[in-house]
Structure 1
Amino acid sequence: MTSHDERHALLDELDLLRARRAELEATFAADDHPHDMGEQSEATQRRDELTWVDGRIRDITYLLDAAARAGNGLPGRVCVGSVVALRYPDGRSERLKVTRVPDDDFPTVTPESPLGRALLGAGVGDEIEWAAPEGRLRARVESVDSDVGGER
């Protein structure tokens, strides 16, 4: 999987799966103990679907991570381990690292976060957009530096 469109299709599917997972979990919280066979059957079907959804989320996350690692050799493209400089429309700038490991000394973002998802695969000069609690945010990728440590 190397194409930008394939990656975005997987990210979209991941969003849908996570939303479905939340819906399924909510039904378990709302259920009290099933009283008849029909209710028990429905609960079993929801548990089976939740197991399938969890497996698919795990598979897609693995594919996206593998694709990000494969992209480590592409200059100017954001992948796991990249340090990125962003410029916001208001002129403000920020440098952060796309990583799974938090760093107390440097701002980080996980590849699964909305900003991390928008960054993965982006190149220098690309405009990115993502959902945040305060609404849709935008920024331009000013620079992309590979991590010297080569995060895996």
Structure 2
Amino acid sequence: MSARRLPPGTRLLDVAGHAKPQGSKRHVGNGVMVESSKGLKAWRDQLKVLAQQQRPPHPFAGPVEITLGFRFVRPKSHYFTGRRSDVLREDAPRWATTKNVGDGSKLQRAVEDSLVDACWLADDSLVARWVGEKVWVDRHTGTPGVRITVRELAA
């Protein structure tokens, strides 16, 4: 968490971990559907627990803006090999756009549902404005996860 003061009606939560997208469900028989994303339950549980620990006194009940900054550990292919294996290649991308990190809307869905479960939001339909990014972080010094900012909007 940042030491700086947040404006009234704003909450900040930084969650370390490996973000998982929530999206497609698959049919397993007898009308039962399960999430197809491996690791989603653990990620949502982690989000929920940390959000509950820093829960606002009352859930946001009006329109909000949500800002999500997802951080993913760079793959080995972004670095040189051999003795320079800790040096980032000049052509390594800044933005995490590979399929294995998931698409932004599905990552956002997992966060929003966890915030509802943790009583930060009365309902995820209250998200009227959203901003997000997916960036790479250094595999040695960076921390994967998501930084979440929720801000009340004037009704």
When you count strand as a share of all residues, which structure comes out higher?
2
TM-score (norm 1): 0.24
TM-score (norm 2): 0.24
**Taking CA–CA contacts closer than 8 Å with sequence separation of 6 or more, which of the two structures ends up with the larger relative contact order?**
2
When you count helix as a share of all residues, which structure comes out higher?
1
